Structure 1
Amino acid sequence: MSKIKYDDYLIKEKLPLFWCSGCGNGTVLGAILRAFATLELDKKNTVVVTGIGCWGKADDYISTNTFHGTHGRALSFATGIKLANPKLKVIALMGDGDGATIGGNHLIHTARRNVDITAIVVNNFNYGMTGGQYSGTTPEDSYTATSRYGHIEPGFDLCKLVEAAGAPYVARGSAYNVVQLEKLIRDGIEKKGFSFIEAISPCPTHFGRLNGMRTAPQMLKWIKENSVAISGAEKLSREDREKKFIMGKFTDKDIPDYSQKYQSIIESCTAEAGGGINNEI
């Protein structure tokens, strides 16, 4: 058994956590740090990249290398870090606003390129830090600070989006089932190539309050009642399935990642030149 504990990756001097009472971010952070400990990640060779938003504050508490970037660009910075030093373990933490609404184009293309990064998106269905405006994942007919008469847009299914873009590892968990979430994160970090984990998480301060769930227990109950495992979803009608958060691992396949493909080009060019070129193309 590993002697490394989750709090070996936690900056205790920064406690208490920044987030609102009942926010699911602390729960997800705990799952991530326990996954780090189980995998015994070397802090010197691990980089956590964040963007802007409530979940973007997570890097304040993590004792690995961290990089705090601009809104919607966490995956761009993470890509640069990974390609500059492929030996690093790179994890990008984003919210639904940061990762999918502002940064949706980067999400699609990072998945398409299959860069060896683990992306963990905490989905609380709104822009929590700036007052609860709707995001690209806000459920249709729900209420937010900018949809006071009901949201008229359908929300993105991020897992379907990333899977369609070509990511080899795609999974969804929630702050309700922490054990499953931790395992999905751990498997994603171990995966070679782009791995994507969506974590459904409560925001009682804004989304919950405006939708009849003013407390964290009420939000967690809502997540539980509206979730179904992949095996259970297969038994539902298409209409009923679309109303549920399907939980589990959707894709787990082995395909060459971006760095592997790039290295093969270098080796091919070097062979054609008789070994007379360096590793720059």
Structure 2
Amino acid sequence: MEVLDIIKPENQVFCKSQLMTGNALSYCPGCGHGTANNLIMEVIDEMGISEDTIGVAPVGCSVLAYDFMNIDMTQAAHGRAPAVATAIVRTWPEKYVFTYQGDGDLAAIGTAETIHACNRGENMVIFFINNGIYGMTGGQMAPTTLEGMKSSTSPYGREIATMGSPLKITELIANLPGVYSVSRHALHTHKHVRKARIAIKQAFENTRLKKGLSFIEILSNCNSGWKMTPNEANEWMVENMFPYFPLGDIKVAGKLKV
């Protein structure tokens, strides 16, 4: 096949998991949510656990996840996904259960549910998509919004004196004894996608082995909320979010990484 032929639509190969429904995604073009959705479905498909997996999505950009992920899904009220997931885990302990939450949902509206589910060590996986903003509801400041970062509710930038510091909730959660593994990843390059995939597979393996709660944070851009192009948003994420929210393992097999 000639190189020019590869770009023809009929010859293109799309790396889409068979567990993605094929419905048009509701996420903004350039957002990391679509990649995250597909990656989770890839791992579930590879592990052959699609019939035994239940996902929980609350209010936020992931609210229509059931339209995209071809597995059993249920919704939860804003911030309450860990509570709903706890009920599922307690009812069907043989299932693989995960929540898929944004930073405004998990780290603000659902702080209590998140902290207590983690502290109890519920046998589930929590996926935390951190784009530093309330993406779906108008671009308001979130707990993870960086100092000086502008949003619809902090138009002059986040001011620490009156608004507090950005919350490193992932590090906070890592210190809870019920949490078995914690890591932070990004999806803006092939290398980072591969690392995130390994972590996702290990998290579901932890569920199989009844190790308790696995927590995976994924840093993502929000080019529409940040008022940038996708490329600009990725560059901004690397230059500004990575130093404050460093990538890598934070807790492995119940032990904090020093």
> TM-score, normalised on structure 1?
0.77
State yes or no: 1:150 paired with 2:181. Answer: no
The amino acid of 2:176's aligned partner reads: A
Counterpart among 68, 80, 83 of residue 76 in structure 1: 83
**Pick aligned residue for 2:173 from 136, 140, 162:** 162
CA distance in 2, matches of 1:111, 1:7: 29
The equivalent residue for 1:221 is 235
Alpha carbons 1:6, 1:37 under 8 Å: kept: no
Mapped contact 1:74–1:92 kept (Cα < 8 A): yes
The question of whether the paired residues in 1 share the 8 Å contact of 2:20 and 2:38 is answered with: no
Q: In structure 2, what residue type is equivalent to 1:175?
A: L
CA distance in 1, matches of 2:157, 2:151: 8
Q: How does 1:115-194 map to 2 (within 5 A)?
A: 115-152=122-159, 153-166=164-177, 167-176=179-188, 177-191=192-206, 192-194=211-213
Deviation (angstroms), 1:73? 0.3
C-alpha deviations, 1:163-199, integer Å up to 9, x for none?
Answer: 1223111010012221111111111121121010000
On the 8 A contact 1:6/1:33 being kept in 2, the answer is no
- Please name the residue that 1:37 is paired with: 45
Partner of 2:55 in structure 1?
Answer: 48
AA in 1 matched with 2:213: F
Distance verdict in 2 for CA 1:148–1:254, change over 3 Å: closer
Equivalent residue for 1:10? 20
CA RMSD of aligned residues (A): 1.7
Q: How much identity, in percent, do the aligned residues show?
A: 30
Rounded to whole Å, the distance in 1 between the matches of 2:106 and 2:73 is 17
The match for 2:105 among 76, 98, 102 is: 98
> Which region of structure 1 is more displaced relative to structure 2, 174-183 or 197-206?
174-183
Larger Rg: 1
Deviation at 1:44, TM superposition (A): 2.3
Consecutive unaligned residues in structure 2, runs of 5 or more: 1-14
Deviation of the 1:159 alpha carbon = 1.6
Q: TM-score, normalised by structure 2?
A: 0.84
Q: Which residue of 2 aligns with 1:278?
A: none
Aligned to 1:107: 114
Q: Look up the equivalent residue of 2:75 and give its one-letter code.
A: H
Structure 1: which 5+ residue stretches go unaligned?
229-242, 256-281
> Size of the alignment, in residue pairs?
229
Counterparts of 2:61 and 2:78, CA distance in 1: 11
1:251 aligns with 2:251: yes
| Alignment CA distance shift 1:67-1:9 (3 Å) | same
